[in-house]
Chains A and B, each alone.
Chain A
Amino acid sequence: MKMLDIRTRLLLAALLPLVLISTLLATVFLLARFGDMQAAYDQRNRAVVRQAAVASEYGLFSGNLPQLQALVTGAMQETDVRWVAILDSRGGLLVSAGQSGQAFSLPMSALEMQGFETDRRLDWLAQPVIPSTIQLDDLFENNGVGAAQQPRQLGQVVMVFSRQSVDARKHDMLLSGGVIGTLSLLFGMGLAVLLSRGVIRPITRITQLVERIGQGDFAAVDKLGDPSTEHGPLHELQNHIHLMANRLSQAHGELEHQVDLATKALRDKKDEAEQANLAKSRFLAAASHDLRQPTHALGLFVSRLAQLPHDRQTGELIGNLDASVRAMQNLLDGLLDISRLEARAVQVNRRPFALATLFDQLQQDLRPQAAEKGLRLRVRATQLWVMSDATLIYRVLLNLVGNALRYTDRGGVLVAARQRSSGQVELQVWDSGIGIAPEHHQAVFAEFYQVGNAARDRTKGLGLGLNIVQRTVKLLDHPLVMLSRPGRGTRFNLSLPVVAGQRDPVQDVPKDKAVPDDLRHRCALVVEDDALARSALVGLLVSWGMRVAQARGPADALDSLAQGLVPDVIVSDYRLQEGHNGLQLVQLLQQQLGWPIPACLMSGDTDPGVIQAAHTAGLTLLHKPVRPAKLRSLLRHLLMDKPVQRTTGVDLQ
């Protein structure tokens, strides 16, 4: 059944019984009235006929036709009478009145007869005329011996009545009944509508109110104070809804308050965590900075020491020392990489390059490490070229293969490149190592996470490798997939876009080639506030054949220039005394000299801000500990286009 709205239902509930009862009552009363009318009509007709029969008795007995004629003419005056006839005892028509077309021929009968002609709406009645008897009660008659004398029928009176007037009255009554019924129905409808409005309006209002409460508008309750409903039938309901809405509003407020509190607590926790993270970063930066200076110096010293002549035992010792220093420097480099990636200070230099060069370098760099562990490092030769940043990709490979070697005890590591039909080159690094359990697949990419190194053996690294890899490939937008089964090994797939091969791949890979004479007789200004580091750096540069001027700070540097020193290159520490920094100093000196003298900065800071600033200024920032080879490569690069300038400057050495 179709759902009816409340208004229709109420109206139906009010009107249906009304309609039913009024219709029933009207029908019953009309039928009863019709019955009464018909009965009265029949009764009157019968009475008229009987009266006529009685009246005609003597006329029939005496054959007095004028009297009978007068009688029937008189009878015609009665209502509804259409035809009157008096028949003699043999059925012969004696007298009649009325329309002759309606003549009835009836058999004589001692019984009253009547009938109805449906088509003409005519009733006919026949009444026998029997002499009225007088109870004589005398012995001459009640002797029981003689034949009983039956009253002889004198004749018959036949009358025809028309139902027209009765029908007309019935019709009128039906009409007036219908009119009265309709009027009362309309009145009832009006009343029902009027009364139901008193109920429906508050209900509608309450419905709207509840809807608005449902939408969260608790204030709507206060608009309910309609005085017209003060004594309405639904006043109680309204009050209860009012109460409910208030409770809801309170509950809602409390809930919001609690949510606010919880949110605030969460925010506080987050702030706390961020604070803690910041503190960690600061600590890390500070610690690494502080570590860098001595390590930097140590590296430089060891490098210089190695260049000195010494016996075999000392040589071995120096070799070990050099390895240790390099490991330490690697760890610091890892931290530095993270800092740089976090600061988005890494600039992607996307170019086509040959993977073969990269692979050669890789093999060259890591073979000793593999050999040390007795592992087999296989790098499958390839002719493929890819479009990416060669330096960053090399760093990724270095980390991946380094990791593979670190976590493999038997077997070997395989590096291969495969071309896929999708226009991608897949770089694969396979190992037969310990593998990674599925539950650790996500965690291995986190900072400082190491599988199976709960004791944190630092010879196994800091656990930054995969984190660096992930950050790098994300920066390059290269998909990296790791497949691993514990005890069986791990495979990393890195997808790179392939390009057509080019002729000269030589310049694309950074190479630490020794060019011994390039730096000779070049003049370098070293600005370093740390005496030890300055000494080590100056020593190293001098060992490379350079002329070196040194300064503790900007003041010294300006003094040197004032004394006529014209350096070919400036090597400055970033953080200088008295709040100065290398960047400002370099810019100051360039301004003094009047030309953009090549310069490089060195910093123990992993502060991303510093890295970003140097990057912006177009200066190379070397991070301490600076590897001698790297420094040398940079200096050679900086001085490449510059002719050897013979200066008259004071050699501070």
Chain B
Amino acid sequence: MAIVLRAVFLALAFGLLGAGAWAQVPDGSARLVIVSSDTSAVYVQTADALTDSLVRQGIPRTDISQSVATELAARLKSGQLPRPVIFVALGSEATQLLVAAGTQAPILSALSPRSSFERILRNHGKEVSTRLSAIYLDQPLARQLALVRLAFPQAKRLGVLWGTESSDRAAGLRSLVATSGLVLQETKVSQAEDLPLALAQVLAGSDVLLALADPAVFNSATIQNILMSSFRARIPLVAFSPAYVRAGAVLAVYTTPAQAAVQAAELALGVLRGKSLPDHALEPNDFEVGVNAYVARALDLSPDAQALRLALRRLERLP
């Protein structure tokens, strides 16, 4: 009896494993391979949303294969690289792996911050092309600036901290700010020790502080003190990620995984249908606005996230 039960159990276990392997391991016949950087929820959601979106567009589910960067790296070592029509890399790690592997198929990178993608290109001597394109995680400067103006109409001075990885956007911002009628109070933070002083300077001369993604300035170690400083100075901080809103930023504009998946699905579908990737990196076309109501109340502010989103969409003439 026990032996029979054990046999049944083993059979079931192997069956499940086999099914799992079938679902995860990219089939040689798959035309689209989605490579996630890791198995975290963001990537899984994005991959699933991407798959669903393509299936809805008429792509057979069997043409889509999902994989994880570490798994693919193992296959690469054994020379079993799949040959799909297009790779969709979710996150910087997956992108770096595929770029390094030198695949035949074009690569569309999604969910990568601009700084990371650019560093990968630099590291591998590549340029953005139809074979290697990306949808940045970062919001366009114009959208962020527009949000600041919508949310803080009284604000005259805009404070910005530039880090080593974001300073190349300073020119773009200056031109935008000049047309918006704001005064830009900017400071370059070339090393970590300078941050307190630079922050103090910027806060002293600003009505609102705009945070732009740069790990050298804004990271988990510095964010608390930056938030504390801005809060004490009663300067609202506008950030670029929902995590910052949770940590204490008043506002943030960001793209959700589902929104990124939809945008990626459109490009991938085009490639599957014979079109090529755009030869430049794209910025996310859909977004959400996050508000930390507690911090806003403490600063005597009352921004409405949904209203701001809609207002932004109207400005960008999005549906």
Contact = CB atoms under 8 A, between A and B. Distances in A.
Contacts of B216: 149
A580 B45 CA distance: 175
Contacts of B213: 140
B219 A141 contact: yes
Given A134-B224, A145-B120, 9 more contacts: A58-B228, A62-B200, A63-B197, A132-B224, A133-B220, A134-B220, A139-B241, A143-B91, A149-B221
Interface in B74-133: 91-93, 96, 111-113, 115-116, 119-120
Nearest to A149: B219
Nearest to B93: A144
A57, A134, A142 pick with most chain B CB within 10 angstroms: A134
Contacts of B92: 143-145
A133 B241 contact: no
Interface string A125-142: 000000111111111111
Given A146-B215, A149-B215, A139 B247 contact: no
A228 B296 CA distance: 94
A367 B93 CA distance: 169
A152 B247 contact: no
B15 to A, nearest CB: 35
B162 interface: no
B232 to A, nearest CB: 8
A151 interface: yes
Contact of B229 (A62, A134, A144, A146): A62
A89 interface: yes
Contacts of B240: 140
17 contacts: A61-B196, A62-B229, A63-B200, A89-B193, A131-B225, A134-B220, A134-B223, A136-B220, A136-B241, A136-B244, A139-B42, A139-B137, A143-B92, A149-B219, A149-B220, A152-B192, A152-B193
A139 to B, nearest CB: 6
Contacts of A145: 92-93, 96, 116, 119-120
Most A Cβ at <10 Å: residue of B96, B196, B219, B244: B219
Contacts of A133: 220-221, 224
Interface in B222-254: 222-225, 228-229, 232, 240-244, 247
A588 B30 CA distance: 190
B119 A146 contact: yes
B229 A61 contact: yes
A145 B115 CA distance: 10
**What is the interface residue range for chain B against chain A?**
35 or more
Contacts of B224: 131-134
Interface of B: 37, 40, 42, 91-93, 96, 111-113, 115-116, 119-120, 137, 165, 192-193, 196-197, 200, 213, 215-216, 218-225, 228-229, 232, 240-244, 247
Contacts of B244: 136, 138
B243 A137 contact: yes
B137 A152 contact: no
B196 A63 contact: yes
A139 B193 contact: no
Contacts of B192: 152
B243 A138 contact: yes
Contact of A151 (B40, B221, B228, B242): B221
Contacts of B115: 146
A143 B112 contact: yes
Contact of A139 (B91, B197, B219): B91
Contacts of A143: 37, 91-93, 112-113, 116
A162 to B, nearest CB: 33
Contacts of B197: 63
A89 to B, nearest CB: 7
Contacts of B37: 143-144
Contacts of A57: 225
Contact of B215 (A58, A131, A140): A140
A131 B222 CA distance: 7
A144 to B, nearest CB: 4
Return the 5 tightest CB-CB contacts between A and B, nearest first: A143-B92, A151-B221, A138-B243, A136-B243, A61-B225
A151 B108 CA distance: 33
Contact of B225 (A62, A142, A149): A62
B202 to A, nearest CB: 13
Contacts of B223: 134, 136
Contacts of B228: 58, 61-62
B113 A131 contact: no
B175 to A, nearest CB: 24
